[in-house]
Each structure stands twice: as C-alpha cells, then as structure tokens.
Amino acid sequence: MGQIVLEQVTKSFGDVTVITPLDLTIDDGEFCVFVGPSGCGKSTLLRLIAGLEDVTSGEIRIDGQGVSTIPPAKRGLAMVFQSYALYPHMTVRKNIAFPLRMAGLDRAEQNRRVEKAAEVLNLTDYLDRRPGQLSGGQRQRVAIGRAIVREPAAFLFDEPLSNLDAALRVGMRLEISELHNRLGTTMIYVTHDQVEAMTMADKIVVLRAGHIEQVGSPLELYRAPRNLFVAGFIGSPKMNLIEGAEATKHDAMTIGIRPEHISISADEGRWSGVVGVSEHLGSDTFFHVQDTGLGDTVTVRAEGDVSFKHGDRVYLTPRDDMIHRFDAKGLRIG
C-alpha cells in the first residue's frame, strides 16, 4: 500500500513561499515523476512528503492517514538522495543493513534481507567494500539497496541519476523501471531529464515556481499540453512556438508545432526558409531553419540522413492536425 495525497499543501521558508497551495494524488503502485526548472520546488515537495521538512499549511496523507505529526522514520517511506548519502565508514553490507539494525531486526534476518537486495542489485561481490571504493553507479545501487530492504510503502528519489554519465544513466534508468515493475511499489521520482520523465513515468507532474502546471501521463502531456510552459517544457527538441500573423490565421495568439510534425522538402511547402545549423544524430536529423518570416528559428526533424547543407533554401509544411493553439494567456485552445 502506498497512496499519497497532498491537500492544499504550502511551504514557506521565512517569508519566501516555495510551494503555493498544491493538491496532488499519487495512487498506489504508481511511478510519479516531478519535473520542472531548477528551483521550482521539486526537492522541497519531496522532502515535505518524506517528513524532512514540516508543511507550513495543508495536509499530507499516506494511505488515508494524516502524517503531519508522524516523524520521517515512521512514515514507511524510503528516500534515495542525489548525493547518495551513504555512510562512508560502513561497509556496503552495513550500509544496507542500517535501517534493519535500527528497526531492531535480528542478525540472521538482517543478513538474509541484505543478501537478497544485493542479489537483485548485482552488489553481491561488493558487500565488504566501503562506499569510497565503489563507482558512481555502484554507490547508486547501494543507496537503492538501503531503500528497498525496508520494504517501504513508497520510494522517493531525488535526481538519483544526475551524477552519472550518459551510458550509466540509461542503464540505471532501465534498472529502476525494472525494479518498479517487480516490486509494484509507489515511486516518486524527481528529475531534470526529459527522457527519464517520459520513459519512466506513469504520471508526470510539471511544476513551476511551486505550483503544478499540469498532471498527466507522458503522452497526454506530449499530445495536449495545457499551456505554453508545459508545451515548451515537454518534448525534445522543444516545440516551435510561433506568434503573429501565422498564429492569427489559426485564431490563436500563439501556435505550437513540434519539430517531428513538420515535413521538409527542397521544392515546395507552406513556409520557406534557409537551413542554419543541422544536427545529425544518425537516426534523425534536426535542421534549424532561419528566415522563415515566422519570428524565431524553426526546428524541424527529418528521419534518417537527409542532406541539406548550410544555406540551402528549403520548404516546410506543418501537419495541420498537430498544431497546438494557445490564447493570449498562454492557455490551450480546444
């Protein structure tokens, strides 16, 4: 069990309000990702749920029970910190066993659970090392191991992969998703990373300046961003946002079209422009097209290795059914 409900939760540090009244429900077994720009309050929100900070007002319920007066250890949550926060003077075994030892489990049971966790996380060979003798990915796994042995109602991850290199991130991302599938435990996961958010989440919560901009599944956010902020934030490369005459044609203040929904051709199309920078990724190529008369540079994705050179004139055609329209307040129309 691990349903987490936030009701009108706020948090201020002194007279700085970091979280404005916020409602959110995270269902049991859900993988919920918090994304948002730096400083928007993701970590703070996680720490409020964990109990490491007190809410200024509002109520947090875990499985229906208000937890305002319950200390962190008793909330049945486990947290994995960005810095891993392993205990440097203890071996991996002792690190993982620490919560069990604090819970007063007997030695044999501690060992049984530690070994089981180590097996799941491929740490069996490293049990007698200290954290200082492990690589970043291994430390990360120890931190996760320390969280899973407690069999918590929910896991809280604060940017757990941000200290790892790209290849390792992909690997760990899969491992965490795999873990979620196997344990079926609620997980709340904070990240900066688009790809992590899109690939891992059942539900994404987009935050800005302490309030929720939109909650939904990755595809909902991708298909129907509720406002300009979410439109610009979800998707990589960013959605092209176009204002002015072209937008007026669609009865909107701003229209948005994703790079993958524009086709590019050498001879005909609705808009014309000149190729600026092109990024070849092998599978895809991104062209940044200038001088289209639409304001900003327009980013276009072409599949495979299409070759237009810098300075070539090209023609662009957006898919009409994929155009997002926003009103003067930046809210989605239709």
Partner 1 sequence: MSTKASRSAARLMLAPAVILLLGWMLVPLTMTLIFSFQRYLPLRGGFQGWVGFENYVRFVGSSAFWPAVQSTVIIVGGVLLITVVLGILLAILLDQPMWGQGMVRILVIAPFFVMPTVSGLVWKNMFMDPNNGLLSHLWRFFGADPVIWLSDASMLSIILIVSWQWLPFATLILLTAIQSLDSEQLEAAEMDGAPALSRFRHIILPHLSRAITIVILIQTIFLLAIFAEIFVTTQGSFGTRTLTYLIFQRVLESQNVGLGSAGGIYAVILANIFALFLMRIVGKNLDR
Ligand X SMILES: Nc1ncnc2c1ncn2[C@@H]1O[C@H](COP(=O)(O)OP(=O)(O)OP(=O)(O)O)[C@@H](O)[C@H]1O
Spatial distance between the Cα atoms of 314 and 262, rounded to a whole number of angstroms: 12
- Picked from Mg ion, partner 1, ligand X, none, the partner binding residue 16 (CB below 5 to 8 A depending on kind) is ligand X
Q: Does 41 bind ligand X (CB under 6 A)?
A: yes
Q: Does 139 bind partner 1 (CB under 8 A)?
A: no
- Picked from ligand X, Mg ion, partner 1, none, the partner binding residue 50 (CB below 5 to 8 A depending on kind) is partner 1
Q: Closest by alpha carbon to 153, among 6, 24, 7, 28? A: 28
CB of 147 to partner 1, least distance (A): 9
Spatial distance between the Cα atoms of 329 and 226, rounded to a whole number of angstroms: 11
Residue numbers 41-80 binding partner 1 by CB under 8 A = 50-52, 71-74, 77-79
Q: Does 145 bind ligand X (CB under 6 A)?
A: no
H, E, C per residue of 161-204: CCCCCHHHHHHHHHHHHHHHHHHCCEEEEECCCHHHHHHHCCEE
Q: Which CB sits closer to ligand X, 39 or 293?
A: 39
- Picked from ligand X, Mg ion, partner 1, none, the partner binding residue 44 (CB below 5 to 8 A depending on kind) is ligand X
- Picked from ligand X, partner 1, Mg ion, none, the partner binding residue 222 (CB below 5 to 8 A depending on kind) is none
Q: Does 43 bind Mg ion (CB under 5 A)?
A: yes
- Whether 238 contacts 297, CB under 8 Å: no
- Picked from Mg ion, ligand X, partner 1, none, the partner binding residue 235 (CB below 5 to 8 A depending on kind) is none
CB of 181 to partner 1, least distance (A): 24
Site string for partner 1, 26-45 (x = CB under 8 A): --------------------
Q: Which CB sits closer to ligand X, 36 or 145?
A: 36
Q: Which CB sits closer to partner 1, 62 or 289?
A: 62
Spatial distance between the Cα atoms of 230 and 226, rounded to a whole number of angstroms: 7
Token pair belonging to 152: 């918590």
Which neighbouring-strand residues pair with 300?
Answer: 287
Q: Which CB sits closer to ligand X, 102 or 195?
A: 195
Q: Which CB sits closer to Mg ion, 43 or 254?
A: 43
3-state secondary structure of 77: strand
Q: Which CB sits closer to ligand X, 16 or 166?
A: 16
Spatial distance between the Cα atoms of 236 and 226, rounded to a whole number of angstroms: 17
Spatial distance between the Cα atoms of 137 and 260, rounded to a whole number of angstroms: 33
Token pair belonging to 312: 């070539």
Calculate the CA dihedral of residues 153, 159, 163, 166 and round it to 10 degrees: 100
Q: What angle do CA 291, 222, 253 make, to 5 degrees?
A: 50
Q: Closest by alpha carbon to 231, among 252, 199, 206, 195? A: 206
Q: What angle do CA 321, 327, 329 make, to 5 degrees?
A: 145
Residue numbers 156-195 binding ligand X by CB under 6 A = 192
Residue 298: phi, psi to the nearest 5? Answer: -105, 130
CB of 131 to partner 1, least distance (A): 10
- Whether 237 contacts 279, CB under 8 Å: no
Q: Does 40 bind ligand X (CB under 6 A)?
A: yes
CB of 60 to ligand X, least distance (A): 16
CB of 19 to partner 1, least distance (A): 19
Q: Which of 2, 36, 41, 99 binds partner 1 (CB under 8 A)?
A: 99
Interface residue list for ligand X (CB under 6 A): 13, 16, 18, 36, 38-44, 192
Interface residue list for partner 1 (CB under 8 A): 50-52, 71-74, 77-79, 81-83, 85-89, 98-99, 102-103, 130, 132, 146, 150
